[in-house]
Amino acid sequence: MFRQVRVSGWAILLLYGTSTLGNARGSEGKILSPLPYQVVQREGFDPDRAHEHQPGGPALGHGHLPITVEWSEPLPSRFEYRVVRRGEGTGTGTEWAALEVARSDRTIKAMADVPAGGWYRLELRGLEGTHVIGTTAVEPVGVGEVFIIAGQSYAAGTNDGLLRVEDAEGQVVALDLVAKRWRVAHDPQPAVGDGGTIWPAFGDALRPLVRVPIGLVNVAVGGTSSRQWLPGTPLYRNLETAGKAVGRFRAVLWQQGESDVIEKVAIETYVANLRTIRAGLSQAWGFEPPWLLAKSTLHPTVYNDPTHEGMIRSAIDRLWRTEGFRPGPDTDILGGENRGGPNSRRHFSEVGQRRAGLLWFAAVWAELQGSVPLQGVR
C-alpha cells in the first residue's frame, strides 16, 4: 500500500507491505531512504566497453543505494535485498542477496550494490531463520548520472518556455532540496524560479545515450556574481549542502558570468574566485568532482559590452586549462532567435533553451567519454 509520512521534515512516499510466515511474529519495515525517483551516482563505467557487442553486455557500471529503514518489533535477525527492473528501463534485476546492516534501536542502515540502470523496485525482507517475517519496498529508484547545477539566471528558471521531460519513463529527475523529495524534472524546476530552464532538454538528449537515469540538483540564483559564491556566503553554503545531499555526483555544471561582466571583474579576479570556490567545496565534499564551465557572458536586453564580456570569456578559457575544471558549452553563440526580447523573460527563448540544453549535452558527453576517473567515480 502507499502511505505518506513525515520524518525529520522529509515528505516520503512509502510503498511497503507486511509478510508473516511460519509464526505470528510479523514485523513491518518503513523505508526512509532511498526516496522514490532518487538517482545515485554510478561508478565503474567504462566508455570503451559500453557498446552493445561487449561480451557480457555494455559495461555501464554500478552504484550503492543508501538504505535506511525503520522496523517495528520484533527486529529481524538478518536482512536480504533485491532490485526488480520496471517497465522499459535499463539495467539488470538481481536475486535476493544478504544485506550487511548497522543497527540502532529499530533503525537499520546499509548500502546495496545495484547495477547501473533503472527504474528499479528495491525490495527488502527481514528473516528469522528461513522464515520471512517482514517485507518492504520502494520504487522507482535508479543508478545513473547525477549533476549539481550552479550559477545565475540562465541556469535557473528565468527562461521563456516551460519545458517538460519527454523521456517516456521519466528518467530525468530533480531533487527539491526544500521539500526533500525527488521528482521528474519538468519545468518549473524546484526552488530556482517559476520560468523555464535548459535542463529538461539537456536530460532528454543525454538519457538515451548514457542508458541510465539522470539526476539534477539545481541551486542557481539569478543576478549573482562569482564573488557571491565565495566561501562563507549563503550561496556557497547552498552549493555545499546540495553536494552533501547526494554524496557522489559526476560534475558541477556552472553557467554564470553575466554579473561579473556588469561588475567589470578582472580576468585574474574571476579565475581566483572560481579556484577558491572549487577548492573549498572539494574539501567539504571529500572528493574532487570536475567543474564544467559554460561561457555565459551575453545578456542582450541588459547590456552590450564586448570588452568586459571578452574578459570573462578569457578567464573561463584560462580555467578550462586549469586542473579540476573542464570545458562546458559556449552558450554565447546563441544569439538572435535564441534570446527573448524586451517583452519576454529576457533570457533564452524556448528554442534557445533547447539549443543550450543540446550544447550542455555535447559538453557532458565529451566529459563522459574522455575524463579521468576521480576517486572511484567514472
Residue 371 makes CB contacts below 8 A (sequence gap 6+) with 290, 326, 378
pLDDT score, position 7: 30
What is the pLDDT confidence band of residue 26, given thresholds at 50, 70 and 90?
low
What is the pLDDT confidence band of residue 303, given thresholds at 50, 70 and 90?
very high
pTM of the predicted structure, to 2 decimals: 0.90
Q: What is the spatial distance between Cα 267 and Cα 101, in angstroms, rounded to a whole number?
A: 51
Percent of the chain exceeding pLDDT 90 equals 84
What are the two backbone dihedrals, phi and then psi, of residue 216, each rounded to the nearest 5 degrees? -125, 140
pLDDT, tens digit (0-9, with 9 covering 90-100), for 176-223 = 999 999 999 999 999 999 999 999 999 999 999 999 999 999 999 999
CA distances from 241 to 33, 39, 219, 226, 236 (A): 18, 17, 10, 18, 9
pLDDT score, position 28: 81
pLDDT score, position 293: 99
pLDDT, tens digit (0-9, with 9 covering 90-100), for 33-55 = 999 999 999 999 999 999 999 99
Q: What is the spatial distance between Cα 39 and Cα 148, in angstroms, rounded to a whole number?
A: 13
Mean predicted lDDT score pLDDT of the chain: 91
CA-angle at 69, arms to 63 and 74, nearest 5°: 140
On whether the CB atoms of residues 159 and 348 are closer than 8 A, the answer is yes
* More confident site: 341 or 95: 95
pLDDT score, position 219: 98
- Residue whose C-alpha is closest to residue 4's, from 34, 31, 44: 31
pLDDT score, position 11: 34
Q: Is the pLDDT of residue 368 over 80?
A: yes
Residue entry with cell 523529495: 181
User: How many beta carbons lie within 10 A of that of residue 153, not counting itself?
Assistant: 26
Q: Is the pLDDT of residue 365 over 90?
A: yes
pLDDT score, position 377: 46
Grid coordinates given for 105: 534501536
pLDDT score, position 22: 30
What is the pLDDT confidence band of residue 373, given thresholds at 50, 70 and 90?
very low
pLDDT score, position 88: 87
**Maximal C-alpha separation, the chain:** 79
Domains of the chain: 2-142 (2.60.40.10), 143-370 (3.40.50.1110)
pLDDT score, position 370: 81
pLDDT, tens digit (0-9, with 9 covering 90-100), for 233-256 = 999 999 999 999 999 999 999 999
Q: Which of the residue ranges 19-33, 133-147, 229-243, 362-376 would you say has the lowest mean pLDDT?
A: 19-33
